[in-house]
Amino acid sequence: MPNIVVKGKGKETLNKTDFVASGGEGSVYAKKGIAYKLYTDPSKMIPEGKINDLSVLTEPYIIRPLDVIMDAKNTPIGYTMRYVTDTYALVQLFTKSFKQRNNLTGKEIFDLVQKLRKGVQHVHDKGILIVDLNEMNFLVNQKFDEVYFIDVDSYQTPHYRATALMESIRDRHCKNNAFTKETDWFAWGIVTFQMFIGIHPYKGKHPTVNGLDDRMLKNLSVFNKDVTYPAIVEPFDIIPENLRNWYKAVFENGQRICPPAEGVAVVTIITRGDKIIGSNKFDMSEIIDYPSNQIGDIANVIFSFGSRVVQGKRGAMLGSQVDLKVPPDAKIGFTPQLNDCIAASLNRGTVSFYNVTTGKMLDETVTGSAVMPYDGRLYVKGGDCVYEIHYLESRTKMRAMTHRVAMIINNATQVFDGVMIQNLLEATYVSLFPRAGAHYEIRMKELEGYRIVDAKFDRGVLMAVGEKGGKYDRYIFRFDKEFRSYDAAVVQDISHSGLNFVVLDTGICVQIDEEENVIAFVAAKDGKRLPPIDDPAITSDMRLYRWGGQAVVAKGEKLYNFKMKS
């Protein structure tokens, strides 16, 4: 592990447990609220003069370089910066499923957009340009009330050119890299539009013009009447009118102007709940015993040995019992003996447990930074350990206990749906927990070099979305029963809209992909893959869930059976 000297601060030793991540330029460690970026090649170290230029950025949410790091020979090899924990990459907020799981409202999205605007304005006021203003260069805290600006060392200062630019936000009308405040605002518009709507303004399909280059050059955005886009895209009128007019002026009319000032009205996001009328290839009958108006839009559906939970924005329904005490971001599990429904909620590093079946809080709490449900079990990431929640069960008293099932490097571990992913010195490992008390740590070389933005594991199938070079690829992995080997497939350059699949008791995986096709395949390694099914009734705003031995889809406040027509 490296021994370093922080200029003006003295010697520091970094250990394996301090490791956070590695990438093309080097590695990042964190200790006592300070992050340490170490370059693999010292010649790529940011000049001290640029660190001085960036020092004028005084807002604490802008994570700029602070002190120079030197090796034993006094060679500059990196710098320190503020370290922020328990965050989401901004790109994760683009998907509708993420917003539903975390009860993100239109007001919260609008407030984050305004914070981004305020931060960009601060950078401009100091005579600096961001240039690479893409969605991977921002983090959002778990309360969704703060945005952090990262990768600040790539900014363009009065004495140093910008060092990076993602293609998805590059203004094709900007010639010879003559970046301006207006090109920054163009990129800001692309990012914030996706926060509201869930699609890049130059994605979707135009009948004759394809690709970002031509679409941008010809100003053919999603506002154009000839462009079609998936149903999962939110209606444009969720954006306040003056900001919506600005987006249209910039994307469709080619204007390069600053966005409107703060203080515009907030429009609440309203989920589309159109009734499914019919389908050519699927039976989709509404499950009529669900009182959807009581708990709001469906965010999750869980089934366990005859007990079914439908989780919504305002509460949950266990069978026919409505409980408004269950928050939409609570993670749902079941006790193994009594099959009681347990809702685990994380608040400021403490996990509490609520028994939905009995309507009582459990006395015990657990310290942790993330909760992950899988197959009826609950797991808590606490420091460098993963704990499986066990229970002492009786009808008079229920107690929660922890059982350690895995060791991880806390700072380097991301928690997703049923899977944890670690970036360990340029090697990527996934942690799977397919059975009670079991843990499999598997190196996935296919994912190395990617920044993982979404992942889900279900019954032998792992899907992961990674970003590389400004494009998003989706990998599908299928494991054998012993998790000793797997096969892999990749779909490149997707429009990331959230992973949407489920594995049924029959061993068949059913997926609705980004192109609104239904794809079915055998979940086991080397199993048969079926051709995509295109049906106009299938839209990307339908969310797939497992309901006992069958699949169901949720759309807005409604739940439907989902099976092939015979």
Q: Number of C-alpha atoms within 13 angstroms, CB side, residue 431?
A: 26
List the domain boundaries for the chain.
Answer: 3-82, 92-251, 282-564
pLDDT in tens, 452-477: 999 999 999 999 999 998 899 999 99
Check residue 270 and give its pLDDT: 47
Residue pLDDT, tens place only, 178-225: 999 999 999 999 999 999 999 999 999 999 999 999 999 999 999 999
Q: Report which residue type is found at 390.
A: H
Place of tokens 């992942």: 455
Instruction: Give the pairing type, strands 68-70 and 76-82.
Output: antiparallel
Q: Is the pLDDT reported for residue 277 higher than 80?
A: no
189, 195 contact by CB (below 8 A): no
State which H helix or E strand residue 207 sits in.
Answer: none
Give the CA distances from residue 345 to residues 109, 332, 349, 350, in Å, rounded to whole numbers and listed in that order.
22, 9, 10, 8
Position 388 scores a pLDDT of: 98
Indicate the CATH number of 3-82 among 3.30.200, 3.30.60, 1.25.40, 1.10.3470.
3.30.200
Span 11-47, pLDDT tens digits: 999 988 899 988 767 889 999 999 999 998 999 999 9
pLDDT at residue 413, rounded to an integer = 95
pLDDT confidence tier of residue 251, bands split at 50, 70 and 90: very high
Written out in words, the top-level CATH class of the domain with range 92-251 is mainly alpha
Residue 274 is predicted with a pLDDT of 55
Q: What percent of the chain has pLDDT over 70?
A: 95
The pLDDT of 48-71, averaged and rounded, is: 96
For 282-564, CATH number?
A: 2.130.10
pLDDT at 58 over 50: yes
Strand-by-strand arrangement of the 517-522 sheet: 501-503, 508-512, 517-522, 533-534
Question: What pLDDT score does 269 carry?
Answer: 47
Q: Computed from CA positions of residues 427, 428, 434, 436, in that sequence, does the dihedral angle turn out positive or negative?
A: positive
Beta carbons of 541 and 96 less than 8 angstroms apart: yes
Locate 159 and state its tokens: 């004495």
Q: Report whether pLDDT(239) > 70.
A: yes
Q: Rounded to 10 degrees, what is the CA torsion of 220, 221, 222, 227?
A: 20
The secondary structure element, H or E, covering residue 260 is none
- For residue 28, give every residue at least 6 positions away whose Cβ sits within 8 Å of its Cβ, in sequence order, or none: 19, 20, 21, 22, 35, 36, 37, 38
Answer yes or no: is pLDDT of 565 > 50.
Answer: yes
pTM: predicted TM-score of the whole model, two decimal places: 0.90
